[in-house]
A and B are shown apart, each in its own frame.
Chain A
Amino acid sequence: KAGVTQTPRYLIKTRGQQVTLSCSPISGHRSVSWYQQTPGQGLQFLFEYFSETQRNKGNFPGRFSGRQFSNSRSEMNVSTLELGDSALYLCASTLSAGDTGELFFGEGSRLTVL
């Protein structure tokens, strides 16, 4: 079956702009999590969604937001981009929020802010 799909894979924005990233989880998976990966901070949790509800949020400013749709697809948005937002944004899905099964990661969306 198809894995986690993230779009776009690469994008370049300028400071002050906003960006929306999309994630399609594995079919049947209802929980979607987002992570930011940078050389300076490593992999950091952004938020988790289950059944269109945000269940957890990491320590990121309010410029970072997300949502989940009824088909479990998720989007995250970053407004008023800063240079430090340049990162690989990873989406992961699992069957349910209470499942200890593995998280399946997509290949990420690489954002460059100029």
Chain B
Amino acid sequence: GQNIDQPTEMTATEGAIVQINCTYQTSGFNGLFWYQQHAGEAPTFLSYNVLDGLEEKGRFSSFLSRSKGYSYLLLKELQMKDSASYLCAVRDGDYKLSFGAGTTVTVRA
């Protein structure tokens, strides 16, 4: 089976930086995704890592270490609209996604 762990909740101040960690143990690995999900809405794609290292996309960056089974999503210059759940998902050897339970980020003024 798959095991994907991420913190349940995080709180940060507007303008600050927050790092959401994700650790995983899966049967096979074909990439790691981060999705954003606002309350009552569908998940939307944020980032994808398949090789080790950092991928930067505007205010959001995602890091992967395959040997450690570890990823993080970095949100910089936090805005109120960044309050959402962030889902870590690993694509396994059969190209199916397994999701973590999600991290709810609350941005305070």
Tell me whether A and B are bound partners.
no
Show the binding face of A for B, using Cβ within 8 Å.
none
Show the binding face of B for A, using Cβ within 8 Å.
none
